[in-house]
Structure 1
């Protein structure tokens, strides 16, 4: 049987949000700080700006080194594809025109604080997950489901940490 990539090719997404008692301007410096990302993530181990970039701006690129117990170690280059201070910060992993994944924070002012959402999309380009799907094409739906649940758990952890950081700063 040949892998058709139907579930993965549909670019499944996952998101979560949290109310944070801090204005978007305070949260912005956390969500747009790529060097904070490894502290938030169980997988991402290290990041560095590329091409002389020193901060967030659409088109700027950064390298990330990651590790996962089932997927091994890998390195990617991401491009910031959405950077509107203090509203949205997003990056595409791999080729921005055909990414392996896309990640985005959206900051919505609400009352005296912010509703912070983190969103992620798998695909459409192949990634390390594709190797598992190609090896077990009949389990594609389960493999994608498990990976999205991992993303969701990571996102919820990120939001909790960002909430703690921003609210502690008062």
Structure 2
């Protein structure tokens, strides 16, 4: 399952990329992420760097280990999410120049869970329809990024 959401932003691509590539700010954008903490001495995104992503949905909280897979400033950043050593998903942000001098920002995720993880996930996260949940939270995330970029923050 792949979910992809895009938004037009009235701000230059370089600014938009700087916001999404600063993963330590993800808790400002995502309604589910509460913290991103770099691991193994990493201080920012480079291919192969790992970070812990902490998340919350209502009373349920969980964390995952993520690895940067692609970094192509100012066009793309992508990472793989894993839990208990198993692949969960691949996330990415693509930044493209818009026709009007602004930016088109696309967030996408590919579900890579095994059937066992798919069965266990609703109890752990409180989400029964991960595709629809991701579409809703991604839309909210992109709107928060749009507002910050257009305000120059």
Which structure 2 residues correspond to residues 1-170 of structure 1 after superposition, within 5 A?
Answer: 12-69=1-58, 72-94=60-82, 99-111=87-99, 112-125=101-114, 129-131=118-120, 146-169=129-152
TM-score by length of 2: 0.85
**Which protein shows a greater Rg?**
1
Moved over 4 A (4+): none
1:3 match: none
Q: What CA RMSD, in Å, does the superposition of the two structures yield over aligned residues?
A: 2.6
| Structure 2: unaligned runs, 5 residues or longer | none
Task: Tell me the matched-pair count.
Answer: 149
| Structure 1: unaligned runs, 5 residues or longer | 1-11, 135-143
Q: 1:99 & 1:41 partners in 2: Cα distance?
A: 21
TM-score by length of 1: 0.77
Closer, same or farther in 2 for the Cα pair 1:156/1:126, shift >3 Å? Answer: same
Kept in 2, the 8 Å contact 1:44–1:66? The answer is: yes
